[in-house]
Amino acid sequence: MSTDHMNIDIHTYQVPSRLLDSKKCPKPHIDAIEKYKQLYEESIKDPQTFWGRTAKELLHWHKPFETVLTGSGFEYGDVAWFREGELNASYNCVDRHALVNPKKTAIIYEADEPGNSRHITYEELLRDVCRLAITLKELGIKKGDTVAIYMPMVPEAVVAFLACARLGAVHSVVFAGFSSDALRDRIQDASSRLVITSDEGMRGGKTISTKKIVDDAVKDCPTIEHVLVFRRTGSDVPFSAPRDLWWHEEIEKHRPYCPPEIVNAEDPLFLLYTSGSTGKPKGVLHTTAGYLLGAAITFKYVFDYHENDIYGCMADIGWITGHTYIIYGPLLNGGTTVLFESTPVYPTPSRYWEVVAKHKITQFYTAPTAIRLLRRYGNDYVKDHDLSSLRIIGSVGEPINPEAWEWYYEVVGRKECTVVDTYWQTETGSIIITPLPGATATKPGSATFPFFGIDPVILDPTTGEEIKGNNAEGVLAVRQPWPSMARTVYKNHHRYLDTYLKPFKGYYFTGDGVGRDNDGYYWIRGRVDDVINVSGHRLSTAEIESALILHHAVAEAAVIGVADELTGQCVHAFATLKPNEEKTDVKDLILQVRKVIGPFAAPRKIYIVNDLPKTRSGKIMRRILRKIVSGEADQLGDLSTINNPSIIPVLIEKVKSS
Ligand code: WT7
């Protein structure tokens, strides 16, 4: 993950000529690097003008704003964008397009079962959103209330997001791969009043018992008044009236129009929980106007969106990528977005390419882990499909290794598409470092240059000093506020300040290492904190350790991220057991993590040991464990602070033999 790309001779790829040929492709919004530079300079030197203009251009305001940006910068975390402005997110995503273009397809639903797809127009989407909004209103949901959404990738999930937004309610979407314990914690933290779920989910031919998981979760959630259940599979599932209500029975009672609740620019739009370096997940809070502007403008320029495009992002709506680039970004621009319920390999490793050919997708967005997996299956799965509709192919979630990048570019993109390696985070709300497809020459593995309004800096991690100029290496921070940045951690503003604004005074800190090469290109190296990235899923080592310690047999646990060819990183755990618990099976401990967090967090390996390397003050030295697992036990570095050096050979032996 931290290979130093700066010393490797990396080829630079010019913008494919096809993208600039007006007979073959629509003219890119930004079609030369000078145009990017010019707009970029304005956005940094005069953010008020840049963001004021684009906010009027890209959003519909029920009441115009007077000021663009106020607040102390990064001192108190009190920035406010467009503070007098009033608007509604669902009006911006649906109504305004339904008014002028009612028959245009908003969503193409590609169900898990191949051959099963459905088109939903903007006017249909508006009716669906309105019916559900009234349903929620009848159930007592009003502006400011939090609604949990635990749904598979069905169009009704999009309807659920937008119905909440229509009422000014705050959606808190929980990825449907999280366990009932994890769902419970997120419902409790947000005091959600209602959960929207489905009877079951379908993915890769397997069913997921979403309703059962919700039932288990809400046992300990006194704030939950109702569970609204969408029927996806029609299987018999436990149902307890009057708490549980069927989606289809409720919505048909209501007329398909509901006026939008106009909210302030800075009113919250949603919460999304993400992992940090400490145990408890953080409820990242995004507000309405700034987030929407970030989603709209990045979607327009990074995916170079044009009127007749069919855009497909393969992420899950439960993560920020799904929020911003399946739902908000495309719909704000009046686009057509593909909602893909399945996996890249179901029923065969051709599935993505079948979907691209079938719907004539023009922009395709996925994660490095999927690209690596499909590359491994070989080119035959790709080459029999007509991918000529593609113009832009994107990558997100973790650093993409040059080999995977080149395969994506050559085999999927046939050297005729721009690869956009987009860097951002749950907290940034939208893409912050990225190529622009009609303008930026790309280098495999580099996210290239900052998006408009983003002023990245490289800091020395120990002194906090800014490292200026090219050929720099350090940690990545941002100097100026941008509209879609998270405003707080829900009910824990201190944690927001401590995590993002205090580590380096005057900057937003990303938690990532970064390099800037001789040509000024940015290379994201990966996290410098205790966050690990498994298949683009963000996990905290502390969170997995807490899960393990909850097991009655475990005394202590230490979790590390280990490089993995397919998933980027995988989880390895070391555990010591309590006396008389020696018989504990490693499988039980893996199950424990699946139960507390979810299957995607399960450790690949667990080593049961007698002791962990610790400092004299009792801190576990994970650095040593990382070195041992990666076969660098001969380079353990400074061991002067270790309290129990005799454990090291024992650990080395243990790792070798398992
Ligand atoms: C972390 C954020 C927002 C997208 C989905 C993940 C890593 C994300 C890239 C990229 C290198 C990347 C970073 C970041 N990351 N995109 N293009 N190149 N690293 O969102 O779960 O909030 O995770 O993902 O480490 O900090 P997230």
SS3 320: helix
Tell me the CA distances in angstroms from 311 to 91, 314, 396, 501, one per residue in order: 21, 10, 15, 35
**Under 8 Å CB-to-CB from 508, ≥6 apart: which residues?**
74, 477, 478, 481, 485, 500, 501
Tell me: the pLDDT tens digits for 629-643? 999 989 888 888 899
Rounded to 10 degrees, the C-alpha dihedral 539/313/439/398 comes to 20
What is the best residue among 282, 396, 537, 567 to mutate for testing ligand 1's pocket, by most ligand atoms within 8 Å of CB?
A: 396
Q: What is the best residue among 325, 371, 423, 527 to mutate for testing ligand 1's pocket, by most ligand atoms within 8 Å of CB?
A: 423
How far, in Å, from the CA of 512 to the mean position of ligand 1? 9
Token pair for 419 = 């690869």
Residue 511 CA: nearest ligand 1 atom is 26
Encode 200-229: b = buried (16+ Cβ within 10 Å), e = exposed: bbbbeeeebbbbebbbebbeebeebbbbbb
Write out residues in the chain with pLDDT < 70, as ranges.
1-9, 279
**244, 237 in Cβ contact below 8 A?**
no
Among 167, 142, 147, CA closest to 157: 147
CA–CA distances in Å: residue 353 to residues 267, 348, 380, 385, 408 = 40, 10, 11, 6, 12
Choosing from 425, 485, 510 the residue with most ligand 1 atoms within 8 A of its CB, the one to mutate for a pocket test is: 425
Model pLDDT, residue 638: 83
What is the pairing mode between strands 105-110 and 117-121?
Answer: antiparallel
Other CB atoms within 10 Å distance of the CB of residue 289: 28
Alpha carbon separation from 625 to 148, 267, 336, 612, 631 (Å, rounded) = 38, 45, 48, 9, 10
C-alpha–C-alpha distance, residues 506 and 519, integer Å: 26
Tokens standing for residue 590? 């893996």
Q: How far is the CA of 398 from the centre of ligand 1 (A)?
A: 5
Cα distances from 274 to residues 279, 281, 283, 546, 628, in angstroms, run 11, 5, 7, 16, 29
If you take atom 6 of ligand 1, which residue's CA is the nearest one? 397
Compute the distance from residue 280 Cα to the ligand 1 centre, in Å.
19
CB count, 10 Å around CB of 10? 18
CA distance 647 to 658: 17
Which among 442, 500, 494, 441 has a CA at the least distance from the CA of 475?
500
Asked if the interface predicted TM-score (ipTM) of this complex is over 0.85, the answer is: yes
Which residue matches tokens 């390696």? Answer: 421
Report the separation in Å between the CA atom of 418 and the middle of ligand 1, taken as the mean of its atom positions: 20
* Ligand 1 atom with least separation from CA of 537: 21
On whether the CB atoms of residues 596 and 547 are closer than 8 A, the answer is yes
In the prediction, which pLDDT does 277 show?
77
> How many Å lie between the centroid of ligand 1 and the Cα of residue 502?
21
What separation in Å is there between the alpha carbon of 276 and the centre of ligand 1?
Answer: 13
For residue 425, report the distance from its CA to the centre of ligand 1, in Å: 5
State which ligand 1 atom lies nearest to the alpha carbon of 447: 17
pLDDT value, residue 3: 41
Ligand 1 center–CA 517 separation, angstroms: 20
Closest ligand 1 atom to 434 CA: 17
How many beta carbons lie within 10 A of that of residue 276, not counting itself?
Answer: 23
Separation between Cα atoms, residue 336 and residue 226, nearest integer Å: 32
Residue 616: per-residue pLDDT = 86
In three-state secondary structure terms, 594 is helix
Burial class (CB in 10 A: 0-12, 13-18, 19+), 242: exposed
CA angle centred on 454, ends 450 and 460, rounded to 5°: 85
Task: Supply the residue whose CA is at minimum distance from atom 1 of ligand 1.
Answer: 425
Distance CA 560, CA 570 (A): 8
What number does the ligand 1 atom closest to the CA of 510 have?
A: 26
Cβ burial of 338 (10 Å; 0-12, 13-18, 19+) is buried
Query: Ligand 1: residues within 6 Å at CB?
Result: 274, 320-321, 396-399, 421-426, 447, 510-512, 524, 526-527, 533, 536, 538
Ligand 1 centroid–CA 374 distance in Å is 20
For residue 207, the CA-to-ligand 1 centroid distance in Å is 29
Residue to substitute in 524, 530, 535, 540 for testing ligand 1 pocket (most ligand atoms within 8 angstroms of CB)? 524
How many angstroms is it from 380 CA to the middle of ligand 1? 30
Q: To 5 degrees, how large is the angle CA 168–CA 324–CA 210? A: 75
Secondary structure letter of residue 26 according to DSSP: P
CB 375 within 8 A of CB 404: yes
Q: Round to whole Å and give the CA distance between 542 and 363.
A: 37
Among 407, 401, 362, which residue's Cα sits nearest to residue 382?
407
Give the nearest ligand 1 atom to 531 CA: 25
Closest-CA residue, ligand 1 atom 3, reads 425
User: Which ranges constitute the DSSP H helices of 219-328?
Assistant: 247-251, 288-302, 320-322
Q: What is the pLDDT of residue 8?
A: 53
pLDDT of residue 619: 87
Question: What's the pLDDT at 7?
Answer: 47
What pLDDT sits at residue 230?
Answer: 98
Strands 363-366 and 117-121: unpaired
* Gap between the Cα atoms of 555 and 610, Å rounded: 10
Find how far residue 7's CA is from the centre of its chain. Answer: 30
Measured between alpha carbons, how far is 432 from 425 in angstroms, rounded to an integer? 9
Return d(Cα 184, Cα 457) in angstroms, integer.
38
C-beta separation of 146 from 170 below 8 A = yes
